[in-house]
Amino acid sequence: MNKKLILAGAVAVVGFFSLTAFDGKTLEQQKAEIAQMVTSKLDAYRSELTAACDARVEAEAQTRYAAVVAAREAEAVATGKPGVKKKTTTKGTSAKPLPPAKAPGKAGEEAAKGRMQGESGKANEEAAKSRMQGEPAKQDEKKAKSRMQGGGK
């Protein structure tokens, strides 16, 4: 009886392992899962190495920058100048600045209005309003005729 129990236990253990070891996945599915896990681990490792490399590059850039700044300061102190200034040279003529604008008074405003409007200020205002509203411009008949014949501007 003892041998039968040991044999039954061994069969049960083998059966249990054989049923639980296989998830019912095909070989292609298993390979796809393995490839996906490998890819994810490689991506994580690559990003970790990239971050470490970026940190090293940044540290080296900071040290080089500090060295350049220190060298410039030492050079400025050695020459006795407060700082290095860029020389700007202009070729050709330079534009002269305009004189300051004067505040217009009443007389100045009226003169400017007269110059802008001309003698017929109301007519110019009406023409401008009609152009803004999209009305076609009125032309003299002679001008229209000459334009149709190909003359004039």
Whether pTM > 0.85 for this model: the answer is no
The CA–CA distances, whole Å, from 8 to 1, 21, 55 equal 11, 20, 63
Maximum distance among all alpha carbons in the chain?
A: 134
pLDDT in tens, the chain (153 residues): 788 889 999 999 988 887 777 667 788 888 999 999 999 999 999 999 999 999 999 999 999 999 999 999 999 888 876 555 555 555 656 666 666 666 555 555 555 555 555 545 565 666 666 666 665 555 567 777 777 777 655
pLDDT at 30: 87
Displacement of CA 110 from its chain's centroid (Å): 49
DSSP class per residue in 101-135: PPPP-HHHHHHHHHHHH-S-HHHHHHHHHHHHHTP
